[in-house]
Structure 1
Amino acid sequence: MSDSTPLPPVRLPSEAELARDALATPLLSRAARLARWAGPDTRVDSGGGLIEEQLAAAAEVLGLTGRSGEGGADAGAATDAEAADEAEAEAEAEASEAWRAAVDTGLVEVVDEDEGTVRAGDNLALLTSGAPAEVLHIWLDALDAAIADASVPDLDDLMDAMDEGGEIDFSTLDWDPQAEAEFLEGVLANLYLLTADERAPEGTPVPLPALAASVVVPSDVAEPTDAMMEEVSTAMMRLDDQFRILGPTGLADFRPVDESLLIEEGQAAPQAPEDEPEDLERYGVVRLTPLGLYGLRARLLDAGYAAPALGDLAGKGAEALLDGTAHYGPLAARAETEQWLARREPLAAARELLAAARGGDAGAPLRRLHCQQALSLVGSEAEPALREVLDDPELGGLARVWLAEHGAADIPAPSQELVFWLTVDTVAAQLAAEGNSAELVALVEGLAAQHSGFFDTAWRVDHPATAEVLEAMGRLHPDKRIAKEARKAAYKARSQQSG
């Protein structure tokens, strides 16, 4: 995905709702509790982490102790003592993560690095007295740190790579920090796109194998090779680990891979699923939360992407609305337009839309198409604005369409010149909106069939897109004779324009 790729708009809750969600996430709520717990006797190591002697107390503050029956070793393979030790280690690891989040987000500040003393950070007060945007900024810092942690090898791998002097020999790890970070960023970007796609039902979870395939299998490959499917399986297990790490951030609702699918030791991952759709959940599914959608959008914006949200254009002018919704899906375009109209009086809104729809630039036909769609949402109060432009060569056609659809009387018949100009403008808009779609092919066939001698007249139309439209009709029409007529007409139109 390049930073010039138009991203679909997303629907987000209010900042107040998102801030409440952020405060309720395990990561931020635990970090805040530890920041309030920390006092004069709290000590940290040189990296800002809690010293080992205080991890048990931190885990107890967070209510993480006493979970020996949860997620510990297999009851048939470990003693009660081993299970308790494992549960204690897990609790302390979670407490350590929460403390790091408190430091990373400024909820805790190191006062003296040599002494290892700390105090409450300035951001701690913002969690209770700050504006929603300030709370969300703190949560975003925690999310960034968690995403960075998810790209690092797990502790067992790091311990295996440690030399006798206690230093990690990164050359022994099969780990490229930049490639690993880019892999996870690509996965999160694709998850954002899949969530924002209005063609998918809202809240639809994404199977982990499909998410892995989206970054492993090239988009132009119809049938993945066995090697690709093996890579997808490996990537799926990487994502299973990474989403477990990201879980406490509130980024996504995640169901991990069913452990019963993990085959005998020596196999890195279960084979990519070929099951029925209802069995896909066994291979893990992930669904962005509204907070996660907000967080990934914020990261995309920071990276320079245009990542719109519904409502962004509501306070802007009509030209921004018509241009901004040019690449929205139909549902998103309607929702954005409804929010824009809700802030304006119908007659004033109609006049503003019509004024913005004028122009001879390349984007003007699509603006007029979106103007016509926007005006379809305005009631009869807008009629005076439409009658004012009946004689306008660029707007007279769409004004007549609107008046007719609203049952208005005394609509003057359009001239043949206006009919042909509107036809060229409509096809130009459809080309810009949809490219060579099946609907456009049907429109081209219908125009050529309905108007006898269409191309003899069409090439004379004084519209900036006349030649382009006729060339497209020659390319799209299935009848070779008619297609040839269209190409000849396009040549005449270009000659006329250059003359």
Structure 2
Amino acid sequence: MSADRPTLPPVRLLSEAELARDALSAPLMSRAVRLARWAERGVPVGAGGEILHDALAAATEHLGLTADEDGPACTAEAWQLAVDTGLVEIEETADADGTTAGDGAGPADDAAVGTATPGEELALLTSGSPQDVLDIWLSGMETVLADAAAPDLADLADQLAEGGELDLDALDWNPEEEAELLDGILGNLYLLTALAESPDQSIPLPALAASMIVPDDMDEPTDDVLEEVSEAMMRLDDQFRVLEPIGLVAYRPVDEALIEELDEEGETVRAAEPLTDEDVSRYGLVRLTPLGVYAVRARLLDAGADAPAVGDLTGKGADVLLDALPDYPEAYAQAESEQWLAARTPLDAARELLGAARGDDEGAPRRRLAAQQTLSLVAPDAEAALREVLDDRQLGGLARVWLAERGLPGIPEPSQEMIFWLTVDTIAAQLAGADEGAEAELRDLVQGLTEQHSGFFDAAWRVDHPATADVLEAMGRLHPDKKAAKEARKAAFKARSRQSN
């Protein structure tokens, strides 16, 4: 995989039908749909398609938001989404100048320059496919993302009131940088979601902000970096409040008691409560919803990233499956294997897996281990395929394991050479995929093998396996007993000498 096409951990997606239901039930989308249907008799709109004052009041009442102080703003936001996604379409009114001002709450209805009625996209929500629904939602989501990356409206209003002109430089706001930063935040949130033990696991806002700001090689963040993280948290708090109604994230906002209250001159009026680690949720918690995972993955794919999802490999060959599975989390690897197997008969699947597991290349041990794990899910109907490879040097050992696990009769005893070959192959596979957390497990495995087999190293160095020397060197590094470790290193030297001759 090239460096300019990064590979991300796999994610598990809901079905398109489930995602479409989630999209339609997102508060902002749901309100937009209700308003589009409400517009059947025609709704007067301004030059940008914005809903006008009297119509806004009626729309707010239609949504049941009259008693909410933010009701008109929520209604206007939902209406704009309906316009942006084509749920309503605008027909311009002839000879309208749109110059009449209202009472300050919005343009008056006699400033109308057009009429909005239900658009073609609205019909797709009921007559179209789940993908049609998701396409409409994705279009709206892009609009909301743009809103989230925009500067604070209060800052804009203040600037316009003071100077009468919009000066982006004075706002210290760069549209491209803001959009890239939000893309980066969503990408990091996607990565953390993919690596989380549970899809419902929320990410603390400080950790998410720090992931974008604190350099990887910085042991202790400086005061300046911490201040930058704090500022980023406040910006993210605003952005996630905007993104939650469209269904992209589930967000618990920052506790306002943790934020300093400032007077007009910027002086502290009320100090923030002391920050402790006892209740991390007070700093803000966020997670991508299943719909959010789907959306961010779609954007990552458009950007050229390799963002796999469980089920992607169902139509691929066993060689592709076995190359990918070792890098999947255990639960996702099993789910991917189950879907791949479900598309084939047990016998055909077993033969394809065994064929793809062969090889002397560096990645072959990991493929064979993945094949063994996948074959453990195959029904006993595949017995014939496993018996066909009993004499195969590379596959005979795992075939015997499969047959024995099912209590099937007539399993020939493996030769000593086959036992040791399978042992080296298994350790090589685990070494190739081991991280720091797996080292203790490997150490126990190495110690157990040498305790169970006296003279293990004297026999192991003779094994005709490409990874024999590397495995023995690793055993020498990992074995807790100094004498055994020394024997392993000597055996590794012999194996290298043997391979070079």
The TM-score with structure 1 as length reference comes to 0.84
1:107 paired with 2:87, answer yes
Contact 1:209 1:272 in 2 (8 A): no
CA distance change for structure 1 residues 180 and 484 in 2, over 3 Å: closer, same or farther? farther
- Tell me the residue number matched to 2:327: 327
Question: How far does residue 389 in structure 1 lie from its aligned partner after superposition?
Answer: 0.8
- Tell me the residue number matched to 1:465: 467
> 1:132 is matched with which residue: 130, 133, 141?
130
Q: 2: CA distance between counterparts of 1:16 and 1:483?
A: 57
Q: 1: CA distance between counterparts of 2:33 and 2:404?
A: 62
Unaligned regions of 5+ residues in structure 2, if any?
A: 97-112
- Give the residue type in structure 1 aligned to 2:229: V
Q: For 1:7, what is the secondary structure of its paired residue? A: coil
- Tell me the residue number matched to 2:308: 308
> 2:244 is matched with which residue: 244, 247, 253?
247
- Tell me the residue number matched to 1:208: 205
Contact 1:233 1:272 in 2 (8 A): no
- Give the residue type in structure 1 aligned to 2:296: L
Q: 1: CA distance between counterparts of 2:459 and 2:445?
A: 18
Question: How far does residue 388 in structure 1 lie from its aligned partner after superposition?
Answer: 1.5
1:97 paired with 2:98, answer no
CA distance change for structure 1 residues 302 and 287 in 2, over 3 Å: closer, same or farther? same
Identify which range, 442-451 or 204-213, moves more after superposition.
Answer: 442-451
- Give the residue type in structure 2 aligned to 1:252: V
Q: 1: CA distance between counterparts of 2:426 and 2:246?
A: 48
- Give the residue type in structure 1 aligned to 2:362: A
- Tell me the residue number matched to 1:361: 361
Contact 2:43 2:117 in 1 (8 A): no
Q: For 1:287, what is the secondary structure of its paired residue? A: strand
- Tell me the residue number matched to 1:12: 13
CA distance change for structure 1 residues 247 and 383 in 2, over 3 Å: closer, same or farther? same
Question: How far does residue 271 in structure 1 lie from its aligned partner after superposition?
Answer: 7.3
- Give the residue type in structure 1 aligned to 2:133: V
Q: CA offsets per residue over residues 233-256 of structure 1, 9 Å max, x none?
A: 322221211111112101222222
CA distance change for structure 1 residues 271 and 192 in 2, over 3 Å: closer, same or farther? farther
- Tell me the residue number matched to 2:214: 217
Contact 2:56 2:75 in 1 (8 A): yes
- Tell me the residue number matched to 2:446: 444
What pairs with 1:15-94 in structure 2 (closer than 5 Å)?
15-38=16-39, 42-45=44-47, 47-50=48-51, 54-67=55-68, 87=69, 90-94=70-74
Question: How far does residue 367 in structure 1 lie from its aligned partner after superposition?
Answer: 1.3
Q: 2: CA distance between counterparts of 1:219 and 1:406?
A: 48
Q: CA offsets per residue over residues 128-148 of structure 1, 9 Å max, x none?
A: 211001100111111122112
Question: How far does residue 49 in structure 1 lie from its aligned partner after superposition?
Answer: 3.6
- Give the residue type in structure 2 aligned to 1:20: R
Contact 1:230 1:272 in 2 (8 A): no
Q: For 2:366, what is the secondary structure of its paired residue? A: helix
Q: CA offsets per residue over residues 22-64 of structure 1, 9 Å max, x none?
A: 112222222233334446663332x444456754444344333
- Tell me the residue number matched to 2:257: 260
Q: 1: CA distance between counterparts of 2:226 and 2:131?
A: 43
- Superposed CA RMSD in Å reads 3.1
Q: 2: CA distance between counterparts of 1:472 and 1:178?
A: 49
Contact 1:366 1:429 in 2 (8 A): yes
Q: 1: CA distance between counterparts of 2:334 and 2:212?
A: 32
Q: 2: CA distance between counterparts of 1:379 and 1:332?
A: 20
Question: How far does residue 165 in structure 1 lie from its aligned partner after superposition?
Answer: 6.4
- Tell me the residue number matched to 2:103: none
Question: How far does residue 372 in structure 1 lie from its aligned partner after superposition?
Answer: 1.1
Q: 2: CA distance between counterparts of 1:245 and 1:461?
A: 62
1:237 paired with 2:238, answer no
Question: How far does residue 369 in structure 1 lie from its aligned partner after superposition?
Answer: 0.6
- Give the residue type in structure 2 aligned to 1:196: A
Q: CA offsets per residue over residues 398-421 of structure 1, 9 Å max, x none?
A: 112222222233322222322222
Contact 1:18 1:290 in 2 (8 A): yes
- Tell me the residue number matched to 2:420: 420
Unaligned regions of 5+ residues in structure 1, if any?
A: 68-86
Q: 2: CA distance between counterparts of 1:295 and 1:229?
A: 31
CA distance change for structure 1 residues 7 and 181 in 2, over 3 Å: closer, same or farther? same
- Give the residue type in structure 1 aligned to 2:44: T
Q: 2: CA distance between counterparts of 1:345 and 1:56?
A: 62
Contact 2:257 2:273 in 1 (8 A): no
Q: 2: CA distance between counterparts of 1:194 and 1:270?
A: 29
- Tell me the residue number matched to 1:371: 371
- Give the residue type in structure 1 aligned to 2:126: T
Contact 2:258 2:274 in 1 (8 A): no
Question: How far does residue 292 in structure 1 lie from its aligned partner after superposition?
Answer: 1.9
- Tell me the residue number matched to 2:108: none
Q: For 1:42, what is the secondary structure of its paired residue? A: strand
- Tell me the residue number matched to 1:75: none
Question: How far does residue 287 in structure 1 lie from its aligned partner after superposition?
Answer: 3.2
The TM-score with structure 2 as length reference comes to 0.83
* 4+ long deviations beyond 6 Å: none
- Tell me the residue number matched to 1:411: 411
- Tell me the residue number matched to 1:79: none
- Tell me the residue number matched to 2:396: 396
Q: 2: CA distance between counterparts of 1:269 and 1:363?
A: 58
CA distance change for structure 1 residues 269 and 48 in 2, over 3 Å: closer, same or farther? farther
Contact 1:314 1:343 in 2 (8 A): yes
CA distance change for structure 1 residues 497 and 338 in 2, over 3 Å: closer, same or farther? same
Q: For 2:160, what is the secondary structure of its paired residue? A: coil
Q: For 1:444, what is the secondary structure of its paired residue? A: helix
Q: CA offsets per residue over residues 144-163 of structure 1, 9 Å max, x none?
A: 22112111111011123337
Identity %: 63
Question: How far does residue 489 in structure 1 lie from its aligned partner after superposition?
Answer: 4.6
CA distance change for structure 1 residues 49 and 489 in 2, over 3 Å: closer, same or farther? farther
- Tell me the residue number matched to 1:151: 149
Q: 1: CA distance between counterparts of 2:481 and 2:21?
A: 61
Q: 2: CA distance between counterparts of 1:337 and 1:220?
A: 37
- Tell me the residue number matched to 1:80: none
> 1:123 is matched with which residue: 108, 121, 124?
121
